[in-house]
């Protein structure tokens, strides 16, 4: 059944609320420890305390006993305030076990959008709506980029907020200092993620962000002090004079930078505001410690956060401990690489490419103020109602605008925008704080909107309509739009952008009439996260373009006339094939000449492409290309590459392959019988079933896969790797990646793969594609495919390696790795220690990770080090951590840099002249791309001949 909101009889503009109790004349009870705030009202001001009832908490008036009793005017309390919501019981959840957030208590009703960790979630739309105008803190949506900082009560008491930079008075405040020095204020504020309703954009074309539904929005009363008061106290430095708007003037305060304490892979979370905005008290920016009369929860920034009413949630830094007044905007990574609306013509691939980086730093695309948006909450998705003659029902929902603007019109259409009904009834609960302000409350301080015309909260709306009119809707849908006081109206169709931000197209709810039961069923556009359901997915499966939906296929219907035709299907082959070159026939002999890793040619859809120019640029590494040299790569290429990647193929097109040139590959797999001594085949994919999973840490696993028979070895030379490929149930390639097995040829019948599971994050909404698929594989049931060996580096034994087709003796080996890059390094060290004829080789290992828990195979590495030393060989090992470290951590801190490489690696070999023997010092490097790039530059700075002495796996 549908859910209705019934306005209170005492105020036609308020949602359902319990009536405020009769004001009492007793002494106010003190607020909970650590939560008290200084009042700023006069001695005769009425005070308010929080009283809990079965339906929530409301604000009741009390007067301190030590004050003279003021004249009491009961009429001033007849307008009720929205009740403070009762917080539900929450606890630590099993889904968080094994993550850094296992200690955090959470509401299990939240819909998780990015897997276990980090937490990004929103409530179910019905739960959000039923909670009322003020959202319980446990149901507030959560947007995080990493682990939630764990702050104890004592640490919160000692919490220091540093304010520095271009100010006359640099300060460090505790929260008690803020309460003592500045008036405590409370402001009702609606928080909205800039990605709210993003899944609708992702249904049209997948962008870079994860799938927010329509409940990435919450509303609450935040308590703290005005940022403007604190800045005024610290006195920003603003030289007098005329300065151009768009020019950086060194030494002139223009921006306020905010930073939290959360540790992220690319530095702490930080962003900035213009100083003139931050100093404007009418914008009500807060340094807040409370929400809905309680301290902030860990997920919402305990003990202190920034609140910026009217702007997107991404500007409201949590766990705030540093403010800098500066002459330039924040330089934090996520200030640039998040919360942008890029031009609609910039694809997701272009946005994240090296050439596309300039978009992120262009200030024209930054998001600050929210846009006007609205959604239908009643009827909810899949709600059903009866159709009856004369029966009425309510359509209800929320709406909000940005920058303090007020929503002033909500309209509904039953013919998809051809005509509009009379405006819906609007309900503004925040006006209760204008009509009956709260002053001098022992916790809330002043909650008084009587002097501001800003509107920082969502409003509710409702429209009563007959069930028969809904049944007879010309378009088969309810179409909703909102307009704010600047007359900005929600657009008809969504405007796609690469990050899926700020979607606020008209909200459409499909109407289905079951003639047999005479019931109406309602269908929302999407369901959040990975949940199925919604008309966008259904219409896509039916062959429609979800951007231009047709719900009711009636001849000449308004819906059809209003919908633009879907764009024509793209013929991918026309993008990839140069007509001028398609007439050139590549013979089998010519094609086979390029079946090598130096000038690899391969086939897609019967046409030949030269991968040589792209070996160094390929995001998956050059081996992804050399692996298919001389082969038909159609299946893999078409399955895993984007439209942009396919479009680039035009420049590599050679011609059409002669008929029958690949007939010799048809039975390639049959050339290797199941009883062969080795499992791998470089020209054929071999199937392998997952037999066990060993959990090493919260994000690392050893996966054991079965070979064809129990006496079989993998057949992988030391230092080389294999390709793993996972297909879906229909046999389509999902993803493939190169891995160096953790086990060697000594293990028979099985192969062990060590993986680090990359969970979804802000930048990568689905997490690591391959590792998330491996994580979900079922033991004894699911299989993947392997192909190999693959790679240009091989340890041959006797201190000898082969690299680039040449053999060389190696007496000094520098090993640099990060994260899961340890696997090829591990393979090589293990081969060295087990080879008695390689005693002359010395090793130096520099291993970078974020935390101590992230060090993969640490026990095994330490054991190898002892075995090296036990045989009289040198093995220097140095771990360095970029994240938080224990007090007794004995390794390095920070990132792998030039100084560390100078200190913990052997000296660079002398530059080799022409005709000289191959140098006996070599470096092996494997890690994330950014790390490898930094290592390359650092080694060159030290004096390494990088092209000739450094191997990048």
Distance CA 616, CA 271 (A): 34
Close Cβ partners of 822 (under 8 Å, ≥ 6 residues apart): 754, 847, 856, 857, 861, 926
Please report which confidence band the pLDDT of residue 731 belongs to, taking 50, 70 and 90 as the band edges.
low
Output 730 or 800, whichever has higher pLDDT. Answer: 800
**pLDDT the model gives residue 740:** 86
Distance CA 444, CA 426 (A): 27
**pLDDT the model gives residue 79:** 54
Nearest CA to 536 out of 490, 571, 505 is that of: 505
Distance CA 335, CA 321 (A): 17
**pLDDT the model gives residue 450:** 93
- Among the ranges 49-63, 334-348, 873-887, which has the highest mean pLDDT value? 334-348
**pLDDT the model gives residue 770:** 82
Nearest CA to 507 out of 410, 386, 575, 649 is that of: 410
**pLDDT the model gives residue 14:** 35
Helix (H, G, I), strand (E, B) or coil at 796: strand
182-197: per-residue pLDDT in tens?
999 999 999 999 999 9
Whether residue 64 is predicted with pLDDT greater than 90 in this model: the reply is no
Whether residue 34 is predicted with pLDDT greater than 60 in this model: the reply is no
Query: By the 8 A CB rule, do 48 and 31 touch?
Result: no
**pLDDT the model gives residue 699:** 81
802-830: per-residue pLDDT in tens?
877 688 888 898 889 888 788 888 888 88
739-760: per-residue pLDDT in tens?
888 888 888 989 998 888 877 7
Whether residue 623 is predicted with pLDDT greater than 90 in this model: the reply is no
Please report which confidence band the pLDDT of residue 392 belongs to, taking 50, 70 and 90 as the band edges.
very high
- Among the ranges 30-34, 187-191, 703-707, 890-894, which has the highest mean pLDDT value? 187-191
Whether residue 162 is predicted with pLDDT greater than 80 in this model: the reply is yes
Whether residue 717 is predicted with pLDDT greater than 90 in this model: the reply is no
Q: For 149-208, what is the HEC assignment?
A: CCCCHHHHHCCCEEEEECECCCEEECHHHHHHHCCCEEEEEEEECCCCCHHHHHHHCCCC
130-152: per-residue pLDDT in tens?
999 999 999 999 999 999 999 99
**pLDDT the model gives residue 766:** 67
305-327: per-residue pLDDT in tens?
999 999 999 999 999 999 999 99
Average pLDDT value for residue range 77-97: 83
Percentage of the chain beyond pLDDT 70 is 83
Q: Average per-residue pLDDT in the chain?
A: 82
Whether residue 705 is predicted with pLDDT greater than 70 in this model: the reply is yes
Average pLDDT value for residue range 360-365: 89
**Cα–Cα separations (whole angstroms), residue 174 to 23, 159, 308:** 34, 5, 21
**pLDDT the model gives residue 496:** 94
Distance CA 442, CA 290 (A): 13
**286-291 and 217-226 as β-strands: parallel, antiparallel, unpaired?**
antiparallel
Whether residue 48 is predicted with pLDDT greater than 60 in this model: the reply is no
**pLDDT the model gives residue 60:** 33
Q: Is the pTM of this model over 0.75?
A: no
Distance CA 645, CA 492 (A): 31
Helix (H, G, I), strand (E, B) or coil at 638: helix
**pLDDT the model gives residue 599:** 85
560-597: per-residue pLDDT in tens?
434 445 445 557 778 889 998 999 999 988 888 888 77
Nearest CA to 64 out of 80, 84, 48 is that of: 48
**pLDDT the model gives residue 399:** 98
Please report which confidence band the pLDDT of residue 909 belongs to, taking 50, 70 and 90 as the band edges.
confident
Complete domains list, the chain, with CATH = 91-238+250-330 (3.90.420.10), 373-442+451-548 (2.60.40.650), 572-665 (3.10.120.10), 677-791 (2.40.30.10), 795-953 (3.40.50.80)
Average pLDDT value for residue range 381-387: 96
**The token pair that represents 625 in the structure block:** 């290309």
Close Cβ partners of 47 (under 8 Å, ≥ 6 residues apart): 28, 39, 41, 61, 62, 63, 64, 440, 441, 442
Query: By the 8 A CB rule, do 844 and 906 touch?
Result: yes
**Cα–Cα separations (whole angstroms), residue 840 to 738, 812, 863, 911:** 31, 8, 19, 22
Residues written for the chain = 953
**pLDDT the model gives residue 700:** 83
Helix pair 822-833, 858-870: axis angle to 10 deg? 30
**pLDDT the model gives residue 137:** 97
**pLDDT the model gives residue 46:** 27
Close Cβ partners of 161 (under 8 Å, ≥ 6 residues apart): 172, 173, 174, 175, 178, 287, 304, 320, 321, 322, 323
**pLDDT the model gives residue 140:** 98
Please report which confidence band the pLDDT of residue 245 belongs to, taking 50, 70 and 90 as the band edges.
low
- Among the ranges 246-260, 310-324, 712-726, which has the highest mean pLDDT value? 310-324
**105-106 and 111-112 as β-strands: parallel, antiparallel, unpaired?**
unpaired
Catalogue the active-site residues. Answer: 193, 338-339
Distance CA 888, CA 293 (A): 39
**pLDDT the model gives residue 273:** 97
């Amino acid at each position: 059944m549908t859910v209705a909101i019934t306005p209170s009889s005492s105020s036609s503009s308020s949602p359902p609320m319990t009536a405020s109790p009769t004001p009492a004349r007793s002494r106010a009870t003190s607020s909970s420890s650590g939560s008290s705030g200084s009042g700023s009202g006069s001695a005769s001001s009425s005070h308010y305390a929080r009283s809990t009832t079965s339906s929530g908490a409301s604000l009741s008036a009390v007067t301190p006993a030590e004050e003279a009793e003021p004249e009491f005017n009961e009429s001033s309390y007849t307008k009720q305030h929205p009740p403070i919501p009762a917080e539900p019981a929450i606890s630590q959840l099993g889904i968080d076990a094994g993550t850094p957030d296992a200690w955090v208590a959470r509401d299990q009703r939240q819909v998780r959008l990015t897997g276990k960790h980090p937490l990004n979630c929103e409530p179910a739309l019905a739960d959000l709506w039923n909670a009322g105008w003020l959202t319980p803190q446990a149901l507030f949506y959560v947007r995080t980029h990493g682990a939630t900082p764990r702050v104890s009560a004592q640490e919160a008491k000692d919490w220091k907020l540093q304010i520095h930079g271009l100010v006359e008075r640099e300060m460090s405040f505790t929260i008690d200092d803020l309460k003592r020095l500045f008036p405590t204020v409370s402001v009702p504020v609606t928080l909205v993620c800039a990605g709210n309703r993003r899944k609708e954009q992702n249904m049209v074309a997948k962008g870079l962000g994860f799938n927010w539904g329509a409940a990435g929005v919450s509303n609450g009363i935040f308590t703290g002090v005005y940022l403007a008061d604190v800045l005024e106290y610290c006195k920003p430095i603003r030289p007098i004079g005329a300065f151009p708007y768009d020019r950086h003037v060194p030494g002139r305060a223009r921006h306020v930078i905010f930073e939290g304490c959360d540790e992220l892979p690319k530095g702490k979370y930080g962003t900035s505001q213009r100083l003139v905005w931050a100093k404007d008290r009418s914008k009500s920016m807060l340094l807040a410690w409370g929400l809905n009369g309680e301290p902030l929860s860990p997920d919402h920034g305990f003990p202190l956060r920034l609140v910026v009413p009217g702007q997107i949630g991404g500007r409201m830094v949590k766990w705030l401990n540093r403010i800098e007044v500066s002459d330039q905007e924040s330089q934090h990574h996520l200030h640039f690489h998040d919360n942008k609306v890029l031009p609609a013509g910039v694809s997701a691939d272009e946005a994240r490419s090296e050439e596309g980086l300039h978009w992120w730093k262009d200030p024209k695309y930054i998001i600050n103020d929210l846009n006007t948006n609205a959604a239908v909450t009643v009827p909810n998705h899949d709600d059903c109602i009866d159709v009856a003659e004369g029966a009425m029902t309510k359509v209800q929902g929320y709406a909000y605008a940005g920058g303090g603007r007020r929503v002033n019109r909500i309209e509904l259409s039953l013919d998809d925008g051809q005509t509009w009904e009379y405006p819906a009834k609007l309900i503004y609960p925040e006006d209760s704080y204008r009509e009956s302000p709260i002053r001098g409350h022992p916790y809330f301080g002043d909650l008084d909107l009587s002097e501001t015309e800003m509107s920082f909260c969502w409003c509710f709306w409702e429209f009563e309509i007959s069930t028969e009119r809904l049944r007879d809707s010309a378009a088969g849908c309810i179409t909703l739009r909102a307009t704010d006081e600047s007359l900005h109206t929600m657009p008809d169709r969504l405007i796609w952008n690469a990050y899926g931000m700020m979607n606020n197209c008209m909200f459409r709810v499909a109407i289905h009439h079951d003639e047999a039961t005479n019931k109406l069923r309602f269908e929302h556009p999407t369901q959040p996260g990975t949940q199925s359901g919604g008309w966008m997915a259904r219409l896509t499966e039916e062959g429609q373009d979800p951007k231009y939906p047709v719900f009711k296929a009636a001849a000449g219907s308004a819906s059809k006339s209003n919908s633009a035709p879907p764009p024509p299907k793209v013929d991918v082959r026309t993008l990839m094939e140069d007509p001028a070159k398609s007439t050139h026939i590549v013979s089998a002999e010519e094609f086979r000449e390029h079946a090598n890793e130096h000038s690899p040619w391969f086939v897609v859809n019967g046409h030949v492409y030269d991968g040589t120019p792209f070996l160094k640029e390929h995001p998956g590494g050059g081996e992804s290309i050399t692996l298919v040299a001389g082969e038909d790569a159609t299946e893999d290429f078409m399955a895993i590459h984007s439209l942009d990647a396919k479009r680039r193929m035009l420049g590599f097109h050679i011609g059409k392959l002669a008929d029958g040139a690949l007939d010799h590959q048809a039975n390639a797999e049959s050339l290797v019988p199941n009883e062969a001594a080795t499992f791998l085949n470089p020209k054929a994919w071999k199937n392998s079933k997952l037999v066990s999973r060993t959990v090493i840490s919260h994000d690392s696993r050893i996966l054991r896969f079965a070979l064809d028979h129990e006496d079989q070895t993998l057949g992988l030379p030391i230092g080389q790797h294999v390709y793993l490929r996972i297909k879906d149930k229909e046999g389509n390639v999902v993803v493939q990646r190169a891995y160096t097995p953790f086990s060697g040829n000594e293990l028979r019948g099985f192969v062990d793969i060590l993986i680090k599971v990359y969970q979804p994050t802000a930048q990568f909404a689905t997490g690591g594609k391959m590792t998330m698929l491996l994580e979900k594989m079922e033991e004894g049931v699911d299989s993947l495919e392997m192909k190999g060996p693959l790679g240009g580096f091989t340890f041959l034994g006797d201190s000898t390696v082969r690299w680039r087709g040449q053999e060389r003796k190696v007496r000094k080996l520098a090993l640099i790795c990060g994260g899961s890059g340890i696997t090829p390094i591990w393979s090589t060290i293990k081969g060295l220690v087990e080879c008695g004829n390689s005693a002359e080789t010395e090793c130096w290992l520099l291993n970078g990770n974020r935390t101590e828990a992230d060090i993969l195979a640490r026990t095994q590495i330490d054991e190898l080090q002892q075995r090296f030393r036990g045989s009289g060989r040198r093995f220097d090992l140095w771990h360095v951590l970029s994240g938080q470290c224990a007090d007794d951590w004995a390794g390095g801190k920070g990132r792998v840099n030039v100084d560390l490489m100078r200190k913990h690696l052997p000296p660079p070999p002398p530059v080799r002249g022409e005709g000289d023997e191959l140098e006996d010092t070599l470096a092996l490097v494997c890690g994330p791309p950014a790390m490898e790039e930094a290592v390359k530059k650092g080694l060159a700075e030290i004096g390494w001949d990088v092209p000739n002495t450094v191997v990048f796996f």
